[in-house]
Structure 1
Amino acid sequence: MANTSPYDMPELRLPLGGETLTKPISRQVLADTIKRQLGLTATSKLPVPQTALPKLAAADLPRVLVVDDVASNRLLLQELLREAGIMSLLASSGEEALALAQSERVDLVLMDIRMPGMDGEATLEALRQLGGVWKTCPVIAVTAHAREEERQRLLSCGMHDVLIKPVDAKVLVKLLSQHLALTLPAPRQGNGGTSGMAPGESHVEADGELAVVDMQMGARLAGGREDLARKTLTLLLESLDESEASLDTAWQAEDEEALLDAIHHLNGACRYCGVPQLALLAETLETRLRVQGVAAVGSLLNELYAAMGRLRAWQSRQA
């Protein structure tokens, strides 16, 4: 019996009999094969070596728990996992993740770090305290902060790896393959919708300003998936009123942590949907708030509100 991935399968000759199994292997397939080789069951048709991943029953699929308070981030990761043949469980908070962990089988966790309530590090600690398989279940931090010192800090607190936002599908598949010990299909190459733009390039309006909405940019950010970019744009538009209310409440209360939570949430919601004006302002405001504090962001906050208004006006023109 040879145990190998379908991509690494050599041309094997088994003069004394035997079968080849390709990973991933379900428990039932492994048990049936061993029984046949030991002569404990009637001989059945031998499996043909495969050139692609075998189709597994839903119960046998790897299961990844995605924990992120931003709906568009969950949507993107769910789509990338689906393409890789992996079942996803979605949690919008650390508390929800902890509840799912006590009732569902999970093989790996993709963990956002900055979340209201239980953040990613607190959620990791709570999961480890469940004991059993949760003591060793791989947890990958998903964060927009790519500084090496932040990466090392996350690894030292118990994360198995760090995935940087915006998520690169190839990097995600590589990490999943490594930590699940599976050979996964390479992510599909999206056609980028109508993009054809170089990385970093973006449409500008006639007045030289960044575009309010740029679906070419959105498709590129969503890995060439224009339909996904449109879905994340819809989610952003639906959340604008709530985001503005959260920002205003935190600003009026001079609550720096609540303001950071609100702008971080908006920044994440802008990440994959092609809204360059709002995305740039959200990223700039979050960075300034982290570095200089709440007293330094008043003028930027007004600019942010104006950009949100222009996005609402764009939405009205599409109706």
Structure 2
Amino acid sequence: MSTTMLRILLADDSLPSLMATQIMLEKMGHEVLVATDGEQALALALRERFDLLLLDEYMPGLPGSAVTMRLRQSTSENNSSCIIALSGVHKDDERQRLLDSGIDELIIKPVTADRLKEAVTKFFPVSSTSIDADVISKLYADLGDDVGRRLLGMFVEELLQMSVRITEALKSENVDEYLAVAHILKNSAALYGADDLATFAREFNENPERFATDIHSAAKTLLARIDDAHHAAKEYALNAAQGKK
């Protein structure tokens, strides 16, 4: 199961909570920018576009609800973005107050990976597979089953090789190797219907500055996308060989 990479603004004045939530989101494959208070969060949200904002309610300066109201009333690109509040208070009147401020959802602290994933996928559903079967089927139809099987087998082998290369590059934190693998996969993955992988690889290869805050975490995300695509392509090849396309 995979989901589209989201650009997320995460704001929390507790550094341990901020870092833990950031790591959870990055492991899900998302790009995360962080803020440590409400003023900083608002400034970022007015300057840059985000798919999702996760805002702690009790931050110094501006609470998350105040940031939300400012954004909803603004003309920025984020005035209609999905906003999820983070709060340790779970009383009904508190939840209603936050909803009235314009948030879309509330996650009760402490934030866990399960709560986070449930809330995020509510608004950004996961796709059922990392390979578009229609793309592969068309390849088989255009080139013939024998050629299609051979080419898909080559793609499966390429994904395995790229997984090994990224794994080794992570050990030495070799950024050039990350980019080289992304360069290879941004086109071949698209050709074989691995759209999530192709999109991430293209963004990583062509705009590495977006990941500059932690490019090694981004490489881990690339590795996860490669492994997802490898599993899906291998499964498709096996089913095709058994006449189950």
Could you state the TM-score of these two structures normalised by the residue count of structure 1?
0.38
Structure of larger gyration radius: 1
- Structure (1/2) with the larger helix percentage: 2
Higher relative contact order structure (alpha carbons within 8 Å, sequence separation ≥ 6): 2
Could you state the TM-score of these two structures normalised by the residue count of structure 2?
0.49
